Structure 1
Amino acid sequence: MKIGYFTDGYLPQINGVATSVEELHDSLTDRKHEVYVIAPKYPNYKDDNPNVFRLKSFRLYKNPELRLSYMFPDRIFQKVLKIDFDIIHGFSGGSIPSLGLALAKLKRKPYVFTYNTRLTHYTHYVLGGKLIRPKAVEKVVELYCNVCNHVIAPADYVKKELIEFGVKKPITVIPNGVNTKRFKPQKSDFLRKKLGIPKEDKIVIYVGRIAKEKSIDFLISTFEKVFRKEKNIHLVIVGDGPERKNLEKLITKHKISDRVFLIGFVEHKDLGRIYNSADVFVFSSKTETQGMVVLEAMASGLPVLTVKDRVFEEFIQNGVDGFIVEKNGSVFAKKLMEILEDEDLRKKISANARKKALKFSLEEIAKKFENLYKSLR
């Protein structure tokens, strides 16, 4: 099949949407399909893949750089128009998926849309949430999904949410896949050497965008409680984003600058060493459609501790292959200390987390997409 992926989230971005699109592209290419990616153009970034088409774009955010394409078709898009796609698939919403939808309607091809981002939780990016309200976003999502042929939700809870919005079109739950060959249990001293952390100290990590909706301020405030009782623990925050300066001020306020490290973005190919350097992975966002980094951590055999959210409850069995607790600083801190102090518990959870992640391997997820595409032709 000739498959067109239309997405505003793609390399060189480092986020869940970009990662899932790239890895799905690779997996289906391995299965002998012709997969094309249409994405925003980034200055000074070159693709090795000739099947990636970059459209003219403008910068939406500076750090990390995030770009959106213009809605009008440019010279490159004229080349895209000549491709006889069997399936056109848009991801997450934005200008390029909208172009994909228009192209699908023009050529009478099936249009599949993956709802990667719970957009109602991101209205604060537009004039602090004063201009656009969540209810208005719900209506836009409903209207958009109802002109698609098929909608993909990464989790059952997200499917239920879309139905509540008023989406009538068929919705299939297909979770994002995780690269279980890249992310696997394999001890590393990468972070210890990079940050000068003693061998006997424990390392707790967060990976992801540094943004308001990720609630990293909750993690930092919680760690201040942990540090009062235990000094040989370090929190490493991997990623960057608009909240970085605010978090730096919070770290200074709590007087824990010697224990919390903000190391910025790392190349996706280096993330395996990051996970393998840590003892526990923590995550406090309640806005995910699935949480790619949580699965990557589990695939790496890392015990994960998340706040209670229905999305995580779909693939983490609390106390068996990970931990889920209420979003309460004292409760979170207590559970984290329990995990760090019990090596046997960490080993048991680590083994079970790896087993669970294997159920989300790229190979298994690619088969599900392939079967769906075939059913729509």
Structure 2
Amino acid sequence: MKIAMFTDAYYPRINGVTVSVHSYATELVKFGHTVCIVCLEYSEEQQRSSFFDEKDSDEKSPFKIVRIPSWSFSAISKEDRVARFDKWRRVKKAMKEFQPDVIHINSEWVIGYFGALYALHYHVPFVFTFHTMWEDYLANYVNFLPDASLRRIGRSVVKFYLKRADLIIAPTKKIASVVHDYGIQKQVEILPTGIPDSREKYSLIRQTAIGLQLSKKCPQLKGKKILLFVGRIVKEKNLSFLFDVLENVQKKLPKTALLFVGGGPYLDELKLISEQRKLSKSVAFAGYIPSADLPYFYRQAQVFVFPSKTETQGLVTVEAMLSGLPVVAIGELGTVDVMQGDHGGFMVGDDVGQFSDKVIELLKNQQLRKKKSQEALEWGKKWKISALTPRLEECYERAMLIRKAKG
């Protein structure tokens, strides 16, 4: 199969859509398919500051990458860009050369629109993955419009694709239910983003080296039990909630620390809040860490803490589980679909007391922690990408049949 994947977010921009597109494209090639990713061309500064591994550069990629010139989107987001509308012909030329059997759209903005335009005009089967709840997210990027207006815009943008796609994919049951709430009466395939099997590789030498590096960079962690958060440091992830949790936990277990791993626009403000609350001696920030090293950070901690209420998938909770790290998370949106209750840890309400109690329970009860650790390892295997890719292949085949039936 020749598969063209369209996305407005790709490396060096790092988010859940980027990871999903890259992971599935890589695995599809292993399954014998030919893949082309159509994405944004980023600024030279962003490319130079990219944390993306050199071995995964465009030139060394196992699939074709077509980058479309873009404009800065700094008025709304310093990290994001938007493709230039006048580059439609470049997309059309690239697709005529590639001749896709199916087009898979993973985002809703200009690149996504180009993909839909080509699919509809040239009658190519069109699959759309509903990754992002834009009616909830837009308010985090745009502050000059009323919330009600932003919600209407978010819904309208997504509905354009939902109405026209031959097949719709949602990463969770919650997102699938939103499709029907929008009045779209189509079957929705539920397919989460998979975790690359390579993440399970482990080196004791590398683990020791990273442990030493972390001790040197974050001495406040020494001799303490570590609560770990991994992800983009953005305001919508409800991260300051964890400071309340830490203070509660320290009342019973004073030698407890909180480690944030990741970068993002909220990082400086979060550090400032930590200082203002006099938590600097027990809160550490490791910054961005290459994906290949993340499993070693999971193994440095005792509990993975995830306070986000807007996550559509919550893949880092699966990564933590695959490293045997028990999770305590707020049970909303994607977390509900991943944990499905207390599998691999504890899923709690949006309540500091409940959250803190479960963290304390795991830290104090080693037998419980060992049990939850083993449970996490087994539960996480459901999200290995090698097990999920055949389901994506089936989605593409079904989309082709649907398009053929339409004539």
TM-score by length of 1: 0.93
2:89 counterpart of 1:72: no
Aligned twin of 2:50: none
> Relative to 1, partners in 2 of residues 1:198 and 1:204: Cα closer, same or farther, differing over 3 Å?
closer
User: Which one of the candidate residues 160, 182, 187 is aligned to 1:143?
Assistant: 160
Shift of residue 128, structure 1, vs aligned partner: 5.6
Letter in 2 for 1:66: D
| Structure 1 equivalent of residue 42 of structure 2 | 42
Which residue of structure 1 aligns with residue 112 of structure 2? 97
After superposition, residues 203-218 of structure 1 pair within 5 angstroms as 203-218=226-241
Contact 1:184 1:300 in 2 (8 A): no
What TM-score do you get using the length of structure 2 for normalisation? 0.86
Q: Say whether residues 1:58 and 2:74 are aligned partners.
A: no
Deviations 1:307-336 (A, max 9, x none): 121532323143442211111112211211
Q: Is the 8 A contact 2:344 2:372 kept in 1?
A: yes
Shift of residue 364, structure 1, vs aligned partner: 1.2
| Secondary structure of the structure 2 residue equivalent to 1:256 | coil
**Residue in structure 2 matched with residue 175 of structure 1 by the alignment:** 192
Alignment partner, residue 248 of structure 2: 225
Among residues 323, 331, 338, which one is paired with 2:354 in the alignment? 331
Aligned residues: 377
3-state SS of 2:164 partner: coil
Identity of aligned residues (%): 32
Residue pair 1:185, 1:276 contacting (<8 A) in 2 also: no
The RMSD of aligned alpha carbons is 2.2
For the Cα contact (< 8 Å) 1:179–1:296, is it kept in 2? no
8 A Cα contact 1:57 1:68, kept in partner: yes
> Aligned match of 1:301 in 311, 319, 324?
324
Q: Which residue of 2 aligns with 1:313?
A: 336
Retained in 1: the 8 A contact 2:15–2:232?
A: yes
Q: Which residue number corresponds to residue 219 of structure 2?
A: 196
Task: Give the match for residue 143 of structure 2.
Answer: 127
CA deviations 1:263-314 (Å, max 9, x no partner) are 2222222222222222111111111221111111111111011012153232
Q: Distance in 2 between matches of 1:111 and 1:193?
A: 50
Tell me which amino acid in the other structure corresponds to 1:312. T
Within the alignment, does 1:117 sit opposite 2:132 as a pair?
yes
Structure 1 portions without partners, runs of 5+: none
CA distance in 2, matches of 1:213, 1:240: 14
User: Are 1:352 and 2:375 an aligned pair?
Assistant: yes
Matched AA of 2:134: L
- How much has 1:237 moved relative to structure 2? 1.0
Moved more, 109-118 or 243-252: 243-252
Aligned to 2:388: 365
Amino acid of the structure 2 residue aligned with 1:22? H
Conserved 8 A contact 2:217-2:286? no
Q: Distance in 2 between matches of 1:222 and 1:292?
A: 22
- Relative to structure 1, the CA distance from residue 141 to residue 371 in structure 2 (aligned partners, 3 Å threshold; closer, same or farther) is same
Structure-2 separation of matches of 1:91 and 1:364: 20
What residue identity is the alignment partner of 1:363? Answer: S
Q: Is 1:14 aligned with 2:14? A: yes
Partner of 1:160: 177
- The residue number in structure 2 matching 1:31 is 31
Contact kept? 2:116, 2:161, Cα under 8 Å: no
The answer to whether the Cα contact below 8 Å between 2:128 and 2:161 also exists between their aligned partners in 1 is: no
